Amino acid sequence: MSLQIKNGQVVNPLETTVVKTDLFLQDGKIAGLGSAPKSFKAEQTIDAAGHWILPGLIDCQARLRDPGEPEKANIESETKAAIENGITSLCIPPDTQPPIDNSATVELIHHRNEMFGHQAHVYPIGALTRGLGGEQLSNMASLRANGCIAFSNAKIPLANNLVQRRAMDYAGGQHSLVIIQPIDHDLLANGCAHEGAVATRLGLPAIPEAAETAALAKDIELVAQTGARTHFGQLSSARSVDMIRSAKAKGLPITADCAIHQLFLTDHDIGNFDSNMFTIPPLRSQYDRDALREGVADGTIDCLCSDHQPHEVDAKLKPFPSAEPGISGLDTLLLLALRLVEEGVLPLADLIAKLTLNPTAIMGLPGGRIGIDEVADLIIVDPDSHWICNASSFVSKGKNTPFEGWDFHGSVTHTLVAGNIVYKA
């Protein structure tokens, strides 16, 4: 199929530019920028006047609850939510049920996406250990051969540091990325709120900053020991940003992301015991939030993710400490990102790189770029549209959001995967 997108503002994260030009797509790839290739004849034309043309977003941390938790969500519902919100690629952690620790589960996920998905790419992250049990290493070579893009133990602890070192050695030997969410589970205990004045006033079990930073310090030392290429996910504290910045300055092979809600919310937002504000890691102080924003702006934090965790209604109806943590984030990822531009945190092209170019480079994925012969995973965005966040209108099966009533600008009008229009508003 051949398609022309004309009159749009092309946001190119590779060149950090925003330029009005035409795009010409053929056979699933970008065949021309500005001028059509020889003998090109468009079978379809989209007029994108007044709109932005962006690479399709890559969400490097999103739980689809499939296989295993159909009451919360599934591949069909969540890939639909993804493409309608401009996300063309989803990286899913291994804590499905059963875990992604064998080739059969990987094949099941790919099969379900082909049968029931809405044409978003779904990339499984393999388990570091068998059954995520934290003791015996998984067969990473087999998992990688079957399509796992990286390896992680999700939020589940490893038995000890020796297992972690061996896992990182093994992954490094496979030239595979290790993804770690730094958590010291002894310090995490049964906490549910950032250790500070708000948790004390509300009488909530607290989670100290050290529950993240103590683990992160150990993890960075193991990167130095093993040389394993490592990505640190869902950071939440100012001290973590400083530690990552320092480790990068020493030349260690590390990258990092944070969940986008951490750039907007703080522990003060849980003041009325709203369980939609319960996340792990917890919402931290305004100082931490500002430091995360600074880390995003200066490149210490490479990527932004939704950390999408859809829940059924009952999961959030319990008292705050007993509710299930997590936010349904696919429907608000792009809108929150654009709000960072509005608030002057970083320019549009740099912001889009955090959601496209950088994740593809780190995870080794196609897409994320606008250039000749690049895969035509693209979205068209109307920057002037206006929406008051209403969870009941979410495409995701999960309606658990802390952003109810927020005023957003921007909406996706078209999503293209491999040059095919898979969503049109």
| Residue 381 · residue 413 · CB < 8 Å | yes
Question: In angstroms, rounded to a whole number, what is the distance separating the alpha carbons of residues 340 and 410?
Answer: 12
Question: In angstroms, rounded to a whole number, what is the distance separating the alpha carbons of residues 148 and 101?
Answer: 10
Around Cβ 40, how many Cβ atoms within 10 Å? 14
Options 307, 331, 350, 377, the catalytic residue? 307
- DSSP lists the bridge partners of residue 387 as 408
Task: Tell me how far the alpha carbon of residue 176 is from its chain's centroid.
Answer: 19
The token duo for 155 is 């939020």
- Whether 314 is a known active-site residue: answer no
**Residues recognised as catalytic:** 307
